[in-house]
Amino acid sequence: MQAKPIFSVIIPAFNEVKAIGECLSALANQSLPRKFFEVIVVDNGSTDETAGSAATFQDLLHLRVLFTTEPCISGVRNFGASFATGRFFAFLDADCVVPSHWLEAAAELLAADSARVIGAHYIIPPNSSWLAKAWYGDMSTRKSGPVSYVPSGDLFVSRENFFKIDGFDPEIATSEDTDFCKRASDVGLPTVAVTRLGVVHFGTPQSLGSFYRKQRWHGTHVHRVFWKDIRGSRATKSVVFAGYTLLAVAAGVGIAFHGVISGRLLEVLLAPVLLLIAPFLMAIRRSRSGVGPLTLLYLVYGLARGVALLGAGVSTKEDYHLVSGGDPKSDVGSALH
């Protein structure tokens, strides 16, 4: 019987002391024997006890804790990969908890065909809010099979192919997964989402405020990915929707102002209709039920991405940690039991 492939699980971390323990505990409970994988935690200048908490798993995992100070998470992932010894790289985020079969399932899939990128979209935490359920709840099952990308917090790729496409773009703070999978596709490596590789993401936004901040963060460098390859870009829909929202806001304000000064009530009422029509149509396209909540979320999404398109997004690791804050990372343990 052929030996199973060896994995390097690469976990970037910045001030993740509340989450890293559960993340590593799940890896220590993998059905794949630990001799077949190593874990590399890359501490990106944490000011809390992230590194110390991770180090307590030295006896349970083949673990290394590395230190760097990269401006973008892409660089942190690349830094970890440069020290990895595995045949396959498994990129995981510190605020994610994997199922016990995660590595064994990936080993089977990659043994069958390693010329691809595989992973899954995130599973929302137990007891999530209406917002998380409405926007993210079905994503891990809805996006399966061939996809344009899988998130870089749950992504598998062979060592050979990772370096073949030069890893993640270190100049991109966000949308690095979309860019990575696009470049993989350009050299003949498809991206496939597999539901059973799904991980629970405790950084899932649970409130409108955190959802807005997260989408503004994700939109920071979407335009860079778009301008890299306009004709083949997978960020086109996001950029177009953000641009439409900005134009709708500007037009709506102008129409409403003109309606107020001219005393035309219909013009005043037309302004919010203009802003809501695209989010409403997007909500209907995605789901026939819960159109109201989805319309609201598409509106917030468009506003956040529009603000980012204007250059008012966030891009530093400190910003990202603040964006992720306020979600139930601190309740990881209790939510699992």
Q: What is the per-residue DSSP string for 271-331?
A: HHHHHHHHHHHHHHHH-SSSHHHHHHHHHHHHHHHHHIIIII---SHHHHHHHHTTSGGGG
Select from 157, 153, 141, 232 the least CA-distant residue to 191.
Answer: 157
Domains and CATH numbers, the chain: 7-203 (3.90.550.10), 236-312 (no CATH)
- Which uninterrupted H or E stretch holds 16? none
Contact 134, 211 (CB under 8 A): no
Pairing relation of β-strands 37-43 and 7-13? parallel
Predicted local distance difference test score (pLDDT) of residue 91: 98
CB atoms within 10 A of CB 119: 28
Q: What's the DSSP call for residue 127?
A: T
Q: Which residues of 200-222 are buried (b: 16+ CB within 10 A; e: fewer)?
A: bbbbbbbeeebbbbbbbbbbbbb
Predicted local distance difference test score (pLDDT) of residue 251: 80
* Tens digits of pLDDT across the chain (337 residues): 344 448 999 999 999 999 999 999 999 999 999 999 999 999 999 999 999 999 999 999 999 999 999 888 999 999 999 999 999 999 999 999 999 999 999 999 999 999 999 999 999 999 999 999 999 987 878 888 999 999 999 999 999 999 999 999 998 877 889 999 999 999 999 999 999 999 999 999 999 999 999 988 887 766 565 555 555 556 677 778 888 888 888 887 777 776 777 777 776 677 777 788 888 988 898 876 678 889 999 999 999 988 888 875 555 554 445 444 444 333 333 232 2
Residue 186: exposure state from Cβ atoms within 10 A (0-12, 13-18, ≥19): exposed
> Which strands make up the sheet holding 63-67, listed edge to edge?
63-67, 37-43, 7-13, 88-92, 154-158, 117-119, 191-193, 145-146
Structure tokens at 124: 């929302």
